Amino acid sequence: MKKILIGIVAVALLGFAFTVKSNNDTTSIKTKKVATTVGINFFHGTWEEALDKAKEEDKLIFLDAYASWCGPCKRMARTTFMNKSVGDFYNKNFINFKMDMEKHPQGRRLSQKFHLRAYPSLYFVNSKEEVSHKIVGGLSVSQILQLGKEALATK
């Protein structure tokens, strides 16, 4: 009886150990793959570094001005910004920057400077921190591609 109980416990522990390891490995692989291959790649430096990069590369900054509680902002992050054609176009033509305007250190200053009134607000900003093009509201894939083309034409 004692041998049977020890055997059952050993099998259960081995099964649990392999299950946990397998799930963690699969999750990390999926996360890495999605983060590097789909949609808009947003810049991970500071706002000042984004301005410098825009000047260096002679590009506009695409600024997704959002708030954590904003439903249309969340929907765009899950759908429009994750679209491959949107990512290809925006990654090639802009320095992309996401900013929670209520929590980011520069959020309040830029909200006032850019006259932010609603979320999401999408801005195209040059390296001198001047808005060249903007729109308010959630956009579909075709709408955001058209917006990007218009922003490039006004550069």
Classify residue 105 as exposed, middle or buried by CB count within 10 Å of its CB (0-12, 13-18, 19+): exposed
Catalytic residue among 60, 73, 125, 145: 73
Instruction: Retrieve residue 154's tokens.
Output: 């006004």
- Active-site annotation holds for 73: yes
Catalytic residue among 51, 54, 61, 70: 70
In sequence order, which ranges of the chain are alpha helices (DSSP H)? 2-37, 47-57, 71-78, 84-93, 107-113, 141-154
Dihedral of alpha carbons 108, 110, 115, 116, sign: negative
- Active-site annotation holds for 70: yes
Instruction: Retrieve residue 73's tokens.
Output: 């902002």
Q: Which residues are catalytic?
A: 70, 73
